[in-house]
Structure 1
Amino acid sequence: MTPTTAPAPKATLLTPFTIAIFRAIWIAGLVSNVGTWMQNVAGVWLVTTLTTSALLVAMMQAATSLPAFLLSMPAGAMADLVDRRRLLLFTQGFMAVVATILGVLTLSGNVSALGVLGFTFLLGMGAALNSPIWQAVTTELVPRPVLPFAITLNGVSNNIARAIGPAIGGVIIAYYSAGWVFVLNGLSFLGTWAVVYFWKREPDVASGPAENFVGALRAGLRYVQYSPAIYGVLVRTFAFSFGATAMWALVSVVIARRLHLSSGHYGVMLSWLGAGAVTGAFLMGRAGSRLSFNQRVLLGVLAFAGTNVALALIDNIYLLYGVMFLSGIAWLMVMTSFSTTVQLNVPRWVQARVISVYMLVFQAGMSLGSLAWGELADRLSLETSLLIAAGWMLASTVLALPFPMRPAEGLNLTPAEHWPDPETEGAIDPDDGPVVVMIEYHVEPANWPAFRAAAEQLRRLRLRDGALRAGMFADVAHPTRLTEFYYVATWGEHQRQHHRFTVEDQVVEAQLLSLHSGPERPRVTHFLAFPNASNVEVATPMQTQESQR
């Protein structure tokens, strides 16, 4: 009797906690997140007490968010080029030093409002550099089937910190000093630094010539441009964040001006929101497998449309507490769906760069939405602004048709590594170029429609992985002879293409090969610019004669 292998147990929300390194980093991250929220409260309060300028107080939010706009994409490129463990050690150590110095200066009475703004901006820089790396590292800590649950738990960590961090910070400020909050925040970064230091990360294996920084940025943007699953998520993310930010931007105004209640009610409202997000994580753990990411996002969008309507029309604060609880569930459900879809659809070599683009789009939607809904509230009315935001959310559900959330659980994005190295006579400098690659197929006319469809998919993959131009041409003398060409900037970039083509991409390549009717495999030819420099022109005889006159 042949023994059968028992199926692997089904992953649940708690499965990531069985992995020691994820558990340690999650706990350290939770402590650090609490410290960050404590820092936010203490920083704003300290500036409020040090100056009478409302502008300086308002600039605290800009000091926190502006670095994300400036550094998000560079941070993503760095995270894909440099060892992520070392980058985490640098960012965590940098923020620990900055927070501690601010705490010491505050306790000694040697800090000004502008000084707090400056240190807050430095902390924002550290957070902007850290965030893409932190998200990308999650994919290294847990197996792919467990990744959605790990991302959900990261969302739980953020929301637990959001719920308790301000409260703890407020108590410390009331009984001691904002300086002690800053010092504790610095210590929280040191805890994360220690966990990362003892993490035995497997070193990255070099795949082709190293990319330079500018080239890496371009490669990340190009990957997003030619990946329908990714730019579809980005469109949906912007639409959601732009509309959902009406709640974040105007809920305090609803409490103060429409309901005429105290700041305590505002704090309780946010607590209900955080409680909903934590509850949503457990609901997703139980019911998540029954709902696709597309269905989760649609439900979340509808929930936020209802939230905006409720904030505009409902006067009972206790009913609004329940609405905010449901909004917390919807928020976590949507954000984890977006983040998981992005991370499951991206191979490791470009992961942090794509995550940084996703974060940039999300922040852009939040920032522009805050300005738009706030301006409408001032020009029209608070209620009208919230109702228009609800209409925006309802209208954005139509985006599910042209930009569906594509399932990615079964994708195999490991490098195929099946292309042989090109035959060359002598060594070629990686910076030489440009390079033209030509692949000759023989296809019968009856197979042209199917070949054309597969060729268009392959063209997109070539452009995604580094080609500047790509296309398919027919020989006018022999129409059954079709030649694919693609044009790459340098020899090194073409070598990197060899390592970027995934097992999943082989499906498209196999479709073309199945329609090839030649006696041998398609002939591949590589051409290098002559001379081997893109900025050198070959003088024509006419130009030579002109120069000699």
Structure 2
Amino acid sequence: MPEPLRIPRFRAMWAATIVSQFGTFIQVVATSWAMVQLEGSATMVSLVQTAANLPTMLFAVSAGALADIFSRRSVMLGAQFAMLLLSALLAALAALGALTPMLLLALTFLIGCGTAVHWPAWQASVGELVPRAQISSAVAANIVGNNVARSLGPAIGGAIVLVAGATLAFLANALSYLAIITVLWRWRPEKSERRHSGYWAVLAEGFRYGVTHRHTRALLIRAAMFSLSAAAIWGLMPVVAVRLDGGPDLLGILFGCFGVGAMGGAVAAVTLRDRFGAEAVLRGGIAIFLLAIAALGLTKSIPVAVIAHLAAGAGWVSTLSTFNVTLQLGTPRELVGRTIALYQTTTFGGLAIGSLIWGMAADRVGVGPALTISAICLALGLIAGTRLPLPRQQPL
């Protein structure tokens, strides 16, 4: 058992988060396929990912400031309650047959707002739950847990949608929030020593650090370049399933394969970073991802698509986990919530904007060419990244 999971309070939050993420990935398939049925254009389908990721781009920095000012437990509880209510409303509308494309996008956006508020507080809390020496392992454990849910949740979601429709999938997600709410309700963190002059001052300090600290700025630029190009696989996955003559079951399998690959990538990245360093793992992850997405663009074979999603998942998570760990270890603890939020803003902003761009490109030139172009953009970003050094670890 990894050392962080021997700590009861971290283990409880970790397990509850996995349960909640199971619901999230069940809903990802349900919302994506619901949009395919409501409005079949690639642009509208890709807008589901835009709606899901745009809130993090817009609000993550503000949420990071809240995480550095207020009780992170309270911030997370508020976000989880809001997402439970919104997911229940989505299920009710689907059950009544009142769901429209715009309502689906609006509720996806609002649930994304809850996610944007929750994640900076949760990631910044890792340093409160485990010793500093275990932060890298704790981040890896979170990523493995996330990808267990990412591997199985979509397959379950696809089966639910195929057999019982989207309503039950939306309801399953609503109920999944109860696990993390229960753990957070019982958690009594130590009193914080954080003292700040005010919200706007805290926000300005976080922006100032991210913009003026050269290596942090370089990491944020590289994360934005990667996510903007990599968004093609997220925004176009439902139309890829349609291109392969599949239904919600195939979509669930593709999401699940991505998660299986990501889980393997998360485990391997920890060892590889220790042995070869963060920079080598980062470049390798991006290279694997771009080769996978290029293969996906050049084939209409389901077996090749399955292998490509496995490889893409490994490349995706090894890249993002390396960005995350490097940022956490290279940032002063009093600034980590806001710095992580800046990272999430750039990453999810790239996903939100990129999903729309690649959806529009797919409608104009076709799904395969759009994926191939995104692979070329990833290659150009990989080359540009050689001029942007990563942050160095802060002294203990």
Q: Kindly state the Cα deviation for residue 368 of structure 1 after the two structures are TM-superposed.
A: 3.2
Matched, 1:227 2:213: yes
Aligned-partner Cα distance in 2 for 1:336–1:282 = 10
Report the counterpart of residue 60 of structure 2 in structure 1: 72
Report the counterpart of residue 337 of structure 2 in structure 1: 352
Query: Of the candidates 366, 373, 396, which is equivalent to residue 351 of structure 2?
Result: 366
Gap change, CA 1:121 and 1:198, over 3 Å in 2: same
Report the counterpart of residue 192 of structure 2 in structure 1: 204
Matched, 1:393 2:378: yes
Report the counterpart of residue 119 of structure 2 in structure 1: 131
Aligned-partner Cα distance in 1 for 2:307–2:164 = 34
Bigger helix fraction = 2
Q: Kindly state the Cα deviation for residue 312 of structure 1 after the two structures are TM-superposed.
A: 3.4
| 1:157-179 alpha-carbon deviations (Å, 9 max, x no partner) | 22222222233234444555644
Q: Kindly state the Cα deviation for residue 92 of structure 1 after the two structures are TM-superposed.
A: 1.5
Letter in 2 for 1:69: M
Report the counterpart of residue 136 of structure 2 in structure 1: 148
Matched, 1:100 2:100: no
**1:377-388 alignment, distance < 5 Å:** 377-380=362-365, 382-388=367-373
C-alpha RMSD over aligned residues: 3.0
Aligned-partner Cα distance in 2 for 1:102–1:376 = 29
Q: After superposing the two structures, state which structure 1 stretch, 77-86 or 37-46, moved more.
A: 37-46
Gap change, CA 1:181 and 1:384, over 3 Å in 2: closer
Q: Kindly state the Cα deviation for residue 237 of structure 1 after the two structures are TM-superposed.
A: 0.6
Aligned-partner Cα distance in 2 for 1:176–1:255 = 20
Q: Which has the larger radius of gyration?
A: 1
TM-score, scaled to structure 1: 0.64
CA contact (8 A) 2:232 2:354 kept: yes
CA contact (8 A) 1:229 1:345 kept: no
CA contact (8 A) 1:251 1:311 kept: no
Report the counterpart of residue 227 of structure 2 in structure 1: 241
Bigger strand fraction = 1
Q: Kindly state the Cα deviation for residue 128 of structure 1 after the two structures are TM-superposed.
A: 1.6
Matched, 1:276 2:264: no
Per the alignment, in what secondary structure is the counterpart of residue 201 of structure 1?
Answer: coil
Report the counterpart of residue 280 of structure 2 in structure 1: 295
Report the counterpart of residue 166 of structure 1 in structure 2: 154
Gap change, CA 1:286 and 1:351, over 3 Å in 2: closer
CA contact (8 A) 1:294 1:400 kept: no
Aligned-partner Cα distance in 2 for 1:267–1:366 = 20
Aligned-partner Cα distance in 1 for 2:137–2:21 = 19
TM-score, scaled to structure 2: 0.87
Letter in 2 for 1:186: A
Aligned-partner Cα distance in 1 for 2:92–2:306 = 39
**1:304-343 alignment, distance < 5 Å:** 304-314=289-299, 316-343=301-328
Gap change, CA 1:150 and 1:36, over 3 Å in 2: same
Q: Kindly state the Cα deviation for residue 122 of structure 1 after the two structures are TM-superposed.
A: 3.0
Q: After superposing the two structures, state which structure 1 stretch, 216-225 or 385-394, moved more.
A: 385-394
Aligned-partner Cα distance in 1 for 2:332–2:226 = 25
Stretches of 4+ moved more than 6 A in 1? 52-58
Gap change, CA 1:375 and 1:93, over 3 Å in 2: closer
Matched, 1:29 2:17: yes
